Structure 1
Amino acid sequence: MRRKHLFYLSSDRLDAWLWQSGKLSGPASFAATRAGLDAFLGYLEHKHPGAPALLLADLVEEDFQRMLLPHVGGKAGRNLLERRLLQQYRETPYRQAMAQGRAEEGRRDDILLCSALTNPLLLQPWTDALALLKVPLAGLYSVPLLSEELVSRLGLGREHEHLLLVTQQTAGVRQSYFHDGRLKFSRLTLATDREGALVNAGAETARTQQFLVSVRLIERGEQLHAVMVAPEPDLERWSAQCESGPETAYHFIPLAIAAGLAGLGGAGNLGQPSTDAPLADPLFLELLARTQPAGQYPLGEDSRYYRLWRIRQTLMSSSAALAACALLWTGGNLWAYADAQHEGSRLVMEAAGYDASYRVSMSDMPPSLAPTANMKAAVTIERLLATQAPAPIDMVGMLSAALDKVPQVQIVRLDWRVAADGADPEAAIPSSVLGIPSKPPQSLRVEAEIPLVASSTRAIVDSMNAFAQELARNPRLTVAIERPVLDVSSSAKLSGSTGAAGGKPAPFILNLSLAP
């Protein structure tokens, strides 16, 4: 997001800041009154109404409780956590829990830090105003929960086991206790007492430390490191009020240095040096704007316009990506078209050059007896005849293989023919017979005989049948018996004798047809 509304909410007012192009500007302050709400509505109507908003709460009415919960995963664990939060904070919808490890003893329950904004009436007028103008509210955050990120960036959690971060904001002086860099407790006190005097930072730190010891977050005798982050003038006053001892060690970090260590501009984003900023509000707001973690407190229906805004942004991004792809595709097609046009022109010119060279070459040659087209056709026909012209070699090979299997058969005469279907034998030879455009069917008339053997008429018939069957094994060859060795028709006259062998051989005729 290049532009965001950042709202800092305290108990008595709301400060509106604007984050744009990595710079923080503002604030515009609105009191928690009817007039302040009306002014806030006017501000939203005229100050980038479509920009998303982040709400940072810094309230006294924020409660923190540590609890142990059985380690249960999945939907059952979420339901159990929701029931415990509802029991703990029944009067507010702004409640959440952070997992902080597991207990080392017993059944190793989950350690949770539960927190809630216990007075939702402080937030409701402002969230209603945002909903009225359909401002996309992205998340609800709190300064204590956001302080954990600041402590991590400053590297304080690694240096000190027990850390008390003290900062001064518009709402007052915030003291947040961290153990090993994890937030455990936070309290907010007013910057002035009832008489209007500034609070004593050392006395407030002592009260907080006494409370931490009473709830056993710190054992007696353990040292608490109190880190004061404030502008230079406040640090001078606080250093005079704080004195380090065996159980308390004070550290003072100017606001400008803290912003630099955290990688933030801090109050420098306001166009002034960081030391001129009176409070730490800009530091936390810039940290929120740059990191924008997931919403720390649930917003429920107050986030519906942000969801719609996200959908609209997604659709716009998808449309832009689709338009970019369409432009790239169109550009690619235009480039391919231009390239094809250029290549086509080059080929036309190249062909024209070849034609000119051919004509020049042909002009120097004597005239040929036949046109070039006829010569080309003759070459094509010659190649077809060489590859597809019929020849008896195939059928003779099949016949030879069958004779090897039935050696009793003796060939008397072969009559090989090639003719197109329905062709006149007396007419000129058609091209189909020559194998143009494909091989023609062929036929072979086989006249053969089988020598007679005394009392072996059955053997002669079996030899002819075996010879015919052996030829029929070829799938392209069709075998037809024109005249068998033994005429068994009703008109034939059968005769025989039991004389000695040596009679004439038994002739038979087969017609073979070879499909192309």
Structure 2
Amino acid sequence: MKSIVLLLTHERLGAYQWGHLGAEDLARFSHDEAGIAEFKHWLSQQELQRYYLLTDLVEEDLQHEMVPHLNAKDQRALQERKLDQLFRATPYRRARIQLKGKRGEQDRLQLSALTSREQIDRILAELNTVKAAVAGVYSVSLLTQDMMAKLHSDLPHILVMSSCEAGQLRQSYFTPDGLRFSRLGTFNPEQEIALQAAEVANEIRRARQYLTTLRLMGREEQLTIFALFDSQMAAERETIWAALGDDAGQIDFSVQTDLQDLAKRLKLPKACHTWLDILVAMLVTQRPVNQYAPAEAIKYNGLYILGKGLFISAFIVLVCACILSGLSYFQAGQLQGQLAAGERRQQQLQQRQRQYSSLLKQVAASEPARLQAAVKMYREHIEFAPNVEALLRQISQILLDFPTLTLDEVKWAAGSDVSAEGTPVAPASQQDAAAAADPNAQPGGTPWLSQTLQLSGRVQDPNAYRAALAQVNALMQRLQLLPQAQVTVLQWPIDIRSESSIKAQADRSVSDEKGRHADFVIRLHLPAPTVPPQQELAP
């Protein structure tokens, strides 16, 4: 949506839009009936636009009052009451805290209003007729106040002089607290530039006399002039200075700036060459908060913003729906692939079942002994085969409680013990030895179902002998809690035999710091499980 600025002055109503070269003049309308008809016709031909109504009128009243420092709700009620007392006849009014005091102090309240409402009512009525999006009603003086707030000037007395149209001169007086008063003067724009400079000098002189009369500034204090003139009037600053005569010593012209430099400081586009360019750019690019328009006048702009928000929300929802649909499609493809794989697996199992069924039919019924031997072998050897993975998981869970012990090597053997080199040795128990001597015996289980693990590891600090022995001893006790476990410590972190030397072992641990052998070796033996007696198969 493009933006159009409607500038209302006493002479005419102008329409401007921002372009590459600055503010572009779209149309101008007089205040008579013909101008109103032209404005209606022009509005009917415009597409969807956002309108900013900017006023530069004499009929703008500005007052200040000191009010108690209240909370937000009470402050709004107080402001509405003050506005009703001062500006009951116009809806175009505004109140804001200009200087906020601390708790127990007072606030400086700025009250302003556009007291002449007829022309503004007529313009807003025509805009509402075509349902135009009106962003707000603004005044040059309050926009100048926003500009000075961004410049952060700390000079005690500043008179900002600007001109939106030829023959008009607005003077706005500022202190560090903000805008104190603003007035609009006129002069003949067709006279020579030197005479116009003399008129400007007279306006400066009258403004200073007015300020000293109201005691807003002392008679000996200097008034700083901040002149925002176009290039033609800016060249006449020396003429204005000379026209001040004896009052020139009380006027400070040192604080001046080029309009392009001012636009840069305000972060406005580079195409600002006139004061009107500055105002239009501030409204179009920075979109300040509405100043004077009542809620009824800007309702269509609110509806447009709401519709735009709903459109963006709907677009986001659509994007999210597309993403979720894509994920659902991807997951559906994965499920379809899994179903196809499951069907293939089912077909393979069915084919294998058919093969086994055909093979079963080929087996002679006269061979029950072979089937009985196969079942016996499964029950005695395969059904109770040792589960190494489950055993290692149990040992890993136990080692989690011993963070100072590091396991370097695990040697495992079934039916026999393991040596330090990992080779099988004789059975670990008499029960296993007897079972190994007589494979047909069944008292204690099949001998090869027994398991033997040799755990080799290191301690975190081998010099802490007591702690190392305690940790290894605690680990041994935990391993003994396993069902039917037989635990033997083959090597301790320190030789606890009476004939050993602690000093020699300490010297050896220091010398082997880079290539340390295992600090402890624990052998864990689990006997073969007892195979329950099985009923003989019928021949």
Match in the other structure for 1:264: 268
- Name the stretch that deviates more: 311-320 or 206-215: 311-320
Match in the other structure for 2:281: 286
Report 1:359-398 matches (<5 A). Answer: none
Report 1:21-420 matches (<5 A). Answer: 25-48=24-47, 50-102=48-100, 108-153=105-150, 155=151, 157-170=152-165, 172-180=168-176, 182-192=178-188, 198=196, 200-242=199-241, 245-250=248-253, 251-265=255-269, 268=271, 274-275=272-273, 279-341=274-336
The 2-side partners of 1:193 and 1:344 are apart by 89
The 2-side partners of 1:31 and 1:324 are apart by 50
Question: Offset at 1:241?
Answer: 0.8
Residues 367-403 of structure 1, C-alpha deviations (whole Å, 9 max, x = no match): 8889xxx99xx99x989xx99xxxxxxxxxxxxxxxx
Match in the other structure for 1:449: none
SS of residue paired to 1:337:
helix
Report 1:433-512 matches (<5 A). Answer: none
The 1-side partners of 2:358 and 2:59 are apart by 108
Structure 2 gaps, min length 5:
366-370, 385-539
Match in the other structure for 1:11: 10
SS of residue paired to 1:166:
strand
Relative distance call for 1:176 and 1:350 in structure 2 (3 A) is farther
SS of residue paired to 2:148:
helix
Residues 389-419 of structure 1, C-alpha deviations (whole Å, 9 max, x = no match): xxxxxxxxxxxxxxxxxxxxxxxxxxxxxxx
Q: Which amino acid aligns with 1:7?
A: L
The 2-side partners of 1:353 and 1:220 are apart by 109
Structure 1 gaps, min length 5:
269-273, 388-516
SS of residue paired to 2:296:
helix
The 2-side partners of 1:362 and 1:212 are apart by 116
Question: Offset at 1:188?
Answer: 1.4
Query: Could you tell me whether the CA contact under 8 Å between 1:163 and 1:225 is conserved in 2?
Result: yes
Query: Could you tell me whether the CA contact under 8 Å between 1:231 and 1:256 is conserved in 2?
Result: no
The 2-side partners of 1:118 and 1:36 are apart by 22
Report the TM-score, using the length of structure 2 for normalisation: 0.59
Query: Could you tell me whether the CA contact under 8 Å between 1:201 and 1:242 is conserved in 2?
Result: no
Q: Which amino acid aligns with 2:328?
A: N
Q: Which amino acid aligns with 2:3?
A: K
Q: Which amino acid aligns with 1:110?
A: D
Question: Offset at 1:8?
Answer: 1.4
Q: Which amino acid aligns with 1:204?
A: E
The 2-side partners of 1:207 and 1:247 are apart by 13
Q: Which amino acid aligns with 2:54?
A: L
Query: Could you tell me whether the CA contact under 8 Å between 1:98 and 1:112 is conserved in 2?
Result: yes
Relative distance call for 1:140 and 1:358 in structure 2 (3 A) is same
Match in the other structure for 1:511: none
Question: Offset at 1:159?
Answer: 4.5
Q: Which amino acid aligns with 1:62?
A: E
Residues 58-109 of structure 1, C-alpha deviations (whole Å, 9 max, x = no match): 11111111112233334333222212222212321111122122569x9632
Report the TM-score, using the length of structure 1 for normalisation: 0.61
Residues 25-78 of structure 1, C-alpha deviations (whole Å, 9 max, x = no match): 433211122222222222222222x22221111111111111122333343332
The 2-side partners of 1:55 and 1:259 are apart by 21
The 1-side partners of 2:74 and 2:145 are apart by 29
Relative distance call for 1:181 and 1:359 in structure 2 (3 A) is farther
Relative distance call for 1:107 and 1:81 in structure 2 (3 A) is same
Q: Which amino acid aligns with 2:14?
A: D
Q: Which amino acid aligns with 1:13?
A: R
Relative distance call for 1:159 and 1:352 in structure 2 (3 A) is farther
Question: Offset at 1:222?
Answer: 2.2
Report 1:424-439 matches (<5 A). Answer: none
Relative distance call for 1:382 and 1:357 in structure 2 (3 A) is closer
Question: Offset at 1:161?
Answer: 2.8
Q: Which amino acid aligns with 1:94?
A: Y
The 1-side partners of 2:16 and 2:115 are apart by 25
Relative distance call for 1:338 and 1:66 in structure 2 (3 A) is same
The 2-side partners of 1:173 and 1:66 are apart by 23
Query: Could you tell me whether the CA contact under 8 Å between 1:229 and 1:258 is conserved in 2?
Result: no
Question: Offset at 1:348?
Answer: 6.8
Q: Which amino acid aligns with 1:183?
A: L
The 2-side partners of 1:265 and 1:24 are apart by 11
Q: Which amino acid aligns with 2:196?
A: L
Question: Offset at 1:298?
Answer: 3.5
Relative distance call for 1:347 and 1:66 in structure 2 (3 A) is same
Residues 10-29 of structure 1, C-alpha deviations (whole Å, 9 max, x = no match): 12211112358998543321
Match in the other structure for 2:402: none
Relative distance call for 1:70 and 1:27 in structure 2 (3 A) is same
The 2-side partners of 1:284 and 1:59 are apart by 15
Query: Could you tell me whether the CA contact under 8 Å between 1:65 and 1:115 is conserved in 2?
Result: yes
Question: Offset at 1:117?
Answer: 0.6
- Name the stretch that deviates more: 251-260 or 88-97: 251-260
Match in the other structure for 1:479: none
- Identity in percent: 26
Question: Offset at 1:119?
Answer: 0.6
